[in-house]
């Protein structure tokens, strides 16, 4: 019995794997950015997202747009909506990855917590955006 994936990796799954790898390698900085954006806007702009097209960059995903998408896909995003609605920003990071016409939930609880990551980062939100978007362009070649 095999538990691995015997199929060659398609472009549709490659972006997900690369995004997971990027998030894991950059948890502290992503948590710092998430907290800095939360301090500036709360959830008034929506959920922070990583849009991979045409080049990787950060966006906001307004709650209304996620809800409308959920309706269009027959409520298959209900779980994502629940997580987005009920997350604790001082403890966990919740973002949405967008690529290849699909979305992916990004959720993790960094150590230390997001407020401490932001404090330790030594950069403001703009500085964190610059650093992380540059890393994404280098590491997320799709």
Residue 61 β-bridge partners = 47
pTM for the predicted model, two decimal places: 0.88
Omega before 70 cis (within 30°)? no
Please write the tens of the pLDDT for every residue from 71-93: 999 998 899 999 999 999 999 99
Parse the chain into domains and list their residue ranges: 13-139
Nearest to 53 by CA among 121, 141, 138, 130: 141
Q: What percent of the chain has pLDDT over 90?
A: 77
Match 């919740």 to its residue by tokens. Answer: 94
Please write the tens of the pLDDT for every residue from 53-71: 999 999 999 999 999 999 9
Between CA 125 and CA 59, with CA 25 as vertex, the angle to 5 degrees is: 40
């Amino acid at each position: 019995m095999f538990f691995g994936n015997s199929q060659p990796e398609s472009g549709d799954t490659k972006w997900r794997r690369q995004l997971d790898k990027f998030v894991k390698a950059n948890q502290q900085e992503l948590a710092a950015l998430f907290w800095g954006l939360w301090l500036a806007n709360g959830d008034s702009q929506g959920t922070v997202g990583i849009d991979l097209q045409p080049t990787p960059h950060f966006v906001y995903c307004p709650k209304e747009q996620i809800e409308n998408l959920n309706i269009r896909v027959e409520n298959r995003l209900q779980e994502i909506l629940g997580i987005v609605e009920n997350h604790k920003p001082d403890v966990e990071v919740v973002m949405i990855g967008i690529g290849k016409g699909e979305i992916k939930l990004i959720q993790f609880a960094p150590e230390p917590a997001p407020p401490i990551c932001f404090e330790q980062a030594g950069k403001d939100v703009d500085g964190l955006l610059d650093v992380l978007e540059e890393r994404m362009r280098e590491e997320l070649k799709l």
